[in-house]
Structures are given as structure tokens and as C-alpha cells.
């Protein structure tokens, strides 16, 4: 009788894990590795920098990666360039106005053209991008890498999974009211954005 009860629990456990459903990944990285990089390549000057203040949540189902949804937030005041004066200008009211518009966000609503090989999924994420209070629908090519049971390798004594999200896309600063009158030979209109982030889904 005892053996039968134990077997029942094991079967129930396996069944539960088989239909575990979507996992929720938190992208607030305690190791501070997550980053967003930006580059503006104007004829007279190339400006590049990065941002580290990343948070957000993504729901990912290993059995159905195409159903991935989520929202990634970048703290606007974490954007930095290698020149202090340029950084202060960039944060100012004419450019990003970080005092008023504290967050830059991308909310993925659906994935299209989903291709999954083993633990890697590539897709076009359709969603809304918000910068300086202006929201527009855009499509972003993304690469998702699901790392099962790898959380412990980054955070000792923790158990769970990791999800690495990589994306590279371009926006126009004039579309979002980021100093649209600034000459494009000095500050390019197109901003090339690269996102390299990892989220954690600890086991409960």
C-alpha cells in the first residue's frame, strides 16, 4: 500500500512537471550583467553608450515558445555615454527628459515567424515601444535561449531556469520627439539598439 502511494506521488509529480506551463522570468539581474546598448552613427560623429538599469518580466513556456509575452523596462537615467557633459545633455529636457519620462519600455504582445531548434527560439516580437512618453507599435527580431536548471550556476544555492533574450533593432529618434530638430549630420536620426539580457525563474 505504501509503495502504491509513493508511486502515485511520483506519477503526479511527473505529470505536473509535464504540464508545468509558462514560467515567469524576472529580468532584474542582481549580477548587473544585463545591458542595452545604443549607437547613433552620424556622418560627423558616432555616439554610443549603454544602459544597465533593466527590469521586467517575461512569461515563457518551454513547450510553446511562440506564446512568449512580456515587458522589459530600461531606467532612462541609467543611459550613459563616455562623456559626462554629453550624458547630462542626453538626460536633459531637450533630449530624453529623464526627470519626466523615467522609463523606456518594450512590451511584447505576440511572436511571429517563430522558429525553435532545441532550446533556441528566433522570432519577430510584435509589441509597443515607449520612449519619452511616445508609444509606437514596432516589430523586433528576438532570439530566446532557454537554459534549464542553470540558475544555480549564476546564483549559488538557487534552483531554477534562465532565459536569455537578445534583440537588435533600429528606431528613429524623430518618431519619439527626441530633439527632432537636431542636425542629423551631427546626431543621427536612427538609433541602433542592442539588448542582451537574462531573466531568472527560481523554482518555488
Partner 1 sequence: MRKALQVVAVVLALAIGASWAALGANRGWTKTSREVRQLDEVTGIEGITNVKAFLPGVDFLGAGLLIAAGFAGASLLFRKPKQTTT
- 157 in contact with partner 1 (CB under 8 A): no
Quote the least distance from Cβ 17 to partner 1, whole Å. Answer: 23
- 17 in contact with partner 1 (CB under 8 A): no
* Nearer of residues 78 and 174 to partner 1, judged by Cβ: 78
Site for partner 1 in 75-134 (CB under 8 A): 80, 82-84, 86
- 198 in contact with partner 1 (CB under 8 A): yes
Quote the least distance from Cβ 88 to partner 1, whole Å. Answer: 11
- Which segment (1-9, 46-54, 111-119, 173-181) binds partner 1 by CB under 8 A? 46-54
**CA–CA–CA angle 88, 93, 97 (5° rounding):** 80
- 191 in contact with partner 1 (CB under 8 A): no
- CB distance 191 to 20 below 8 Å: no
Give the footprint of partner 1 on this chain (CB under 8 A).
Answer: 31-35, 37, 45-46, 50, 52, 80, 82-84, 86, 145, 147, 150, 153-154, 162, 164, 196-198
Amino acid at each position: 500500500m505504501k509503495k502504491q502511494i509513493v508511486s502515485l506521488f511520483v506519477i503526479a509529480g511527473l505529470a505536473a512537471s509535464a504540464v508545468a506551463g509558462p514560467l515567469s522570468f524576472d529580468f532584474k539581474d542582481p549580477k548587473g550583467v544585463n545591458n542595452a546598448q545604443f549607437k547613433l552613427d552620424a556622418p560627423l560623429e558616432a555616439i554610443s553608450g549603454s544602459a544597465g538599469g533593466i527590469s521586467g518580466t517575461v512569461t515563457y513556456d518551454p513547450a510553446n515558445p511562440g506564446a512568449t509575452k512580456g515587458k522589459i523596462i530600461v531606467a532612462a537615467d541609467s543611459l550613459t555615454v563616455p562623456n559626462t557633459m554629453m550624458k547630462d545633455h542626453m538626460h536633459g529636457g531637450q533630449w530624453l527628459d529623464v526627470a519626466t519620462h523615467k522609463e523606456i519600455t518594450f512590451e511584447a504582445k505576440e511572436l511571429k515567424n517563430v522558429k525553435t531548434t532545441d532550446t533556441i527560439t528566433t522570432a519577430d516580437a510584435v509589441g509597443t515601444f515607449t520612449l519619452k512618453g511616445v508609444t509606437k507599435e514596432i516589430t523586433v527580431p528576438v532570439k530566446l535561449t532557454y537554459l534549464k536548471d542553470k540558475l544555480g550556476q549564476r546564483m549559488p544555492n538557487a534552483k531554477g531556469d534562465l532565459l536569455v533574450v537578445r534583440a537588435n533593432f533600429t528606431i528613429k529618434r524623430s518618431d519619439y520627439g527626441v530633439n527632432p530638430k537636431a542636425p542629423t549630420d551631427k546626431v543621427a536620426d536612427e538609433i541602433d539598439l542592442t539588448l542582451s539580457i537574462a531573466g531568472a525563474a527560481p523554482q518555488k
